[in-house]
Amino acid sequence: MIKRFSLCLVFLPFVSVASPQQFKNVATLMSEYNDYSPDIGAFKVLSEEPLKIQISPKVMKGENDESIKMASYKASVYAAYRTLLQTPAKSVSITVVPLSFDLSKHEKSYLTGQKLSFSLTKEQALKIAGRAGGTNSPDKIIGSDGYEWTDSFNSCCYLEAGNPGLEKFVKDLIK
């Protein structure tokens, strides 16, 4: 009997749930992914304790307000969920300020008139994601590769046409 039980265990498939890759702090995370480069001013740690960061989506001079708003919303989700799920941070205050590039003049400027700020805890972030699409655990938000959003999180919370969609999801985050 014991031999059969042991034999069955050998043939059982092992399922592991990979949690998102972890980083010692948000600066290391942002440096690793380089989606919002500190070198050009697209990411800044404003304070370590309490954690306050600024993220700046890159936009081109002349982009319409709707495009800039959507870029800011995506940066909001990115900053909140990467910080809270891939670092030891339990809470974060996020300021989003679009960074406009004028390629003809080789200039950049922050669009402070379109700034938004909010604070969020890890617990709140998971609850909001859970309400939006049943994605209430880190491994249901960030894929096993540690980089990509899962399909369910992407479709409910990161795509403009998702359900509830990016705009509604971010409005819940910044309440």
What angle (nearest 5°) sits at the alpha carbon of residue 85, between those of residues 81 and 91? 75
Q: Are 102 and 110 in contact (CB under 8 A)?
A: no
Calculate mean pLDDT across residues 2-23.
54
Q: For residue 18, what pLDDT is reported?
A: 57
Mean pLDDT over 107-119 rounds to 97
Q: List, for residues 14-44, the tens digit of each pLDDT value.
A: 344 457 889 999 999 999 999 999 999 999 9
Closest by CA position to 170, among listed 54, 70, 57, 73: 73
Give the separation between CA 155 and CA 141, rounded to whole angstroms.
11
